[in-house]
Amino acid sequence: MKRAPLILILLLLIISCNDDDDVIEITSIRVNHYLDTGFITFFGNLGVINTIQEGNQIGQEEFLNSYSEIQGFEYELGFIHDLLVKKIQISDPPQDGSSIKLELLEVLSKQAAPLDTEFKIQLTLNTNEDTFLNWVIVDQENNFSLINSSISIECGSLCLELLTRINNQEQITGVFTHGENNTYILQNILDE
């Protein structure tokens, strides 16, 4: 009977040491204060995604879409997060996922974005004459939100224009500021 726990421990050690995933590098990443719209899988499912800067890109103007979840990291909307992460090459990646896994090593800083900080989000997209993509959901009570997320859109006097332009399948971008409780406040609608 004493062999069973010993064998179990040895099996666990063998399995944990036999990791086919390789560490590529340890790097710094900055995660932006808002979630952007995009394709959340390689098969084109619509949703919201983190945008990041990495390494020497940190502090530049442009953020890039990140399709890799950062394991161990809990994102908070409205904050810029500077992280130290381990990039790991996945030996057998999922068909609709990234071949790189990110693992949190340390949160270097977390800074609130000023409430009046404006940011742009693509709300609809015309990819060609036959395809119209829409990231905005409107429920039966006319509450607006972003698809596949818990982010509400407070559109105030712009709600009717937003709904009309979506129904007309116009390509639009929203200019937002942060609200409370996972809310984006729509400030303007652009033809982009």
What is the structure's pLDDT at 15?
A: 41
Q: Is residue 13 in some structural domain?
A: no
What is residue 177's three-state secondary structure? strand
Task: Write the DSSP assignment of 76-145 as a string of letters.
Answer: -TTEEEEEEEEEEE-SS--TTS-SEEEEEEEEEEEEEPPTT--EEEE-EEEEETTEEEE-EEE-TT--EE
Of 112, 136, 157, which residue constitutes the final position of a domain? 112
Same domain (yes/no): 158, 182: yes
How many C-beta neighbours within 10 Å does residue 118 have? Answer: 12
Task: Indicate whether 152 and 73 sit together in one domain.
Answer: no
Domain-embedded: residue 26: yes
pLDDT score for 183: 95
CATH number at residue 183: 2.40.50
pLDDT of residue 91: 80
Of 112, 147, 170, the residue at which a domain comes to its end is 112
- Together in a domain, 98 and 132: no
Q: Is residue 8 in some structural domain?
A: no
CA distance 187 to 46: 23
Question: Is 6 domain-assigned?
Answer: no
Tell me, what's the pLDDT at 41? 67
Rg for the chain, CA atoms, rounded: 21
Range of the domain at 25: 20-112
Is-contact 126 132, C-beta < 8 A?
A: yes
pLDDT value, residue 17: 39
124 and 63 within one domain:
no
Q: Is residue 9 part of a domain?
A: no
Strand partners, 133: 125
Q: Which of 112, 143, 169 is the last residue of a domain?
A: 112
- Residues of the chain predicted below pLDDT 70: 1-21, 41-44, 94-98
Q: Measuring CA to CA, which residue among 58, 49, 50 is closest to residue 29?
A: 58
